[in-house]
Amino acid sequence: MSEAELLFLETAEYLKPEDVSQLRNAYAFSQGAHSGQFRESGEPYISHPLAVARILGKLRLDAHTLTAALLHDVVEDTHISNAEISERFGATVAELVDGVSKLDKIESQTPADAQVENFRKMLLAMARDVRVILIKLADRLHNMRTLEVMRSEKQHRIARETLEIYAPIAHRLGINNIYLELQELGLRYSYPTRYKVLEKATKAARGNRREVVEKILDAIKLKLQESGIAAEVSGREKHLYSIYSKMVEKHLSFSEVLDIYGFRVVVKDIPSCYVALGALHSLYKPIPGKFKDYIAIPKANGYQSLHSTLFGPYGIPIEIQIRTAEMHRIAEAGVASHWLYKSSNEDLNDLHIKTNQWLQGLLETLSDSTDSLEFLEHLKIDLFPGDVYVFTPQGKILTLPRGSTPVDFAYAVHTDVGNCCVAVKINGENAPLRSKLKSGDHIEIITAPHAKPNPAWLSFVATGKARSRIRHFLRTIQYDESIELGERLLNQALQSFHIDPETINESQWEKLIRDSAAKSKKELLADMALGKQLPAIIAKRLASPGESPVSSENVASGSITILGTEGMTIQFAKCCYPIPGDVIVGFIKKDQGLIIHSHDCPTISKSHKNPDNWLDVTWGKDISRTFEVKIKVVAANKRGVLAKVTTEIAKTGSNIDDIVMESEKDYTTMHFILQTKDRFHLAQIMRGIRRIKEVIKISRVKGCPPQMN
């Protein structure tokens, strides 16, 4: 019997006759469209969409999905348009086909950018209809099954992408069979030698284990029978990818991983799950800390089971999963269960709500990510399964990825809570925002109305949502600050040409924006602050027709006033650490904005030779913030000298940001980075240190000593 007839026979078990008839039409249409096309293996191309449809048929998906599976490459690889698909098979099928089809490649795109843009398109379509990703997963599974005909570099690239993106998506949607097979095939083509060694060792080990497995199986069945529990009991074989992952993550040998035996118990209802658990705990002693109740608190992908690890005969660890038949079906088919079982089922509705929330979260991340690789990074972070369950003050459970912090929790509650987060209480106790959350923790986020995200949070947050929200906020703030600084730079340049900024009218701006191919006035101003446009050139181009600007060489230009509140658009050079009171100059550096140096900085004459990029800058009055400064202290190498120096620094109200010490036989050299208000404050600090009798020499440092930033 042909593959096509097998598909029609298998789907006739659950589809209506008219639906099977539509599949026959779709198959004939796809076969005609792909006529003369062949796969790398030499098989007719139609074998691929047919195989994809059969994979989805085994999940008992609806006729629209199976029709779209048969047609999923028609638009991409043949002359057939999506409009024709819509006319013949309906708008729903056409939308599914369009969601799976790749974008036309843009010439300027790199392969990586093209890949990410296709992920973006797929996720947008997936958020409208999750069946798009089900077709894509089946498509990827069949491609992986036939990957051996590809050259080894392509095999490796596709396998890594499968392990990093597609297998986690299948897991996140709860489609267990596809998830496990994608992992196995991903391992096989990512590490072919390791795969072969593990496969051979596993086959040999399983033969030796059969007797032990049967003995435990019989004991479990007998105990459940004695307890009056009707159950199906089966042994669970560990998959190669699971074995390999445990060996790598936990640094275990092959024999240590294989020494764990797995069994699954399927019972009729939820009360029977807990009765069965008690019976098995009386048969074999449970290992403390190895019990998880995923029935009371389901996983994010809808998975429910009781998990317990027991001491079996001969001290063998036994992993037990206990679940109902319905839980087992959802564990195997996940979100695909929606088309297989009644939609009135409360658990399935809850699963679809959670899936939809996850997809909406991905869409928000997608809209916040301006860079393709940044979006892919967020996607990979969010695809790994969450296994930390924490409580809000109202008792609501939130599921977060392993390694999540209170900041991740805050953003999971709401973006505004994350942006205004200032502190946290974990189980009623104050805790650092970088604390790692544990299952069962009660989290209370403390907010302040004017608080802002801290860039340092990016170094420890674990969720893509938190990361993207922080970056989005910082980008927005930086853009607003850049516009303000750009306006100040332009006004200075206009004044240097004796042009009053107030005389520049809208028509001059409109002409400049058109000529510059910029989107707006704000974009031009921000570009000046970030060094992408030179203020002097923009000022010349803004001059009214017929007005001849005076050369900047002959005009004493006004200076930019540094207030210390400009934020990220003005940076203070790490080579000289300028502080209020120093004579300073500014340098516009592309993509970094205005960099402030002290006038005698040893690096400026070497690094920045273009005079058009230099600006006169001065300090404003009443600057309230502190600035970093470096000092070098040489002292006698005696006990307690460091304590004396740090005490003197603390007396002046200065904080120490960093310290590096170099000790010799008689002398100790200490390099400090301190927080100071201005030159007067620095002089006060240095006077206090100089009074210490062990101090031989003290000086301010411009330039970077070893091991300091």
Residues 63, 75: Cα–Cα separation, whole Å = 19
Residues 362, 453: Cα–Cα separation, whole Å = 21
Q: Which of 19, 62, 76, 480 is catalytic?
A: 76
| DSSP three-state, residue 626 | coil
C-alpha to C-alpha distances, 576 to 567, 609, 628, nearest whole angstrom:
19, 18, 10
Active site residue 678: no
The answer to whether residues 210 and 172 touch, using CB atoms and an 8 Å cutoff, is no
State residue 708 phi and psi, 5-degree precision. -115, 150
The pairing of strands 656-663 and 614-619 is unpaired
Active site residue 76: yes
In what order do the strands lie in the sheet containing 627-636?
656-663, 667-676, 627-636, 695-700
Q: Which of 10, 19, 62, 77 is catalytic?
A: 77
DSSP letter at 162 equals I
Q: Give the contacts of 86 (CB within 8 A, at least 6 positions apart).
A: 93, 94
Alpha helix stretches (DSSP H) within 129-236: 131-145, 152-161, 167-172, 176-190, 192-226
Number of H helices, E strands in the chain: 28, 19
Give, to the nearest 10 degrees, the angle between helix 372-383 and helix 464-496: 160
Q: Cα 249 vs. chain centroid, distance in angstroms?
A: 20
632 DSSP β-pair partners: 671, 699
485: left (phi over 0), alpha (psi -120 to 50) or beta: alpha
Element spanning 669, H or E: strand 667-676
Residues 643, 545: Cα–Cα separation, whole Å = 68
The answer to whether residues 647 and 705 touch, using CB atoms and an 8 Å cutoff, is no
Active site residues: 76-77
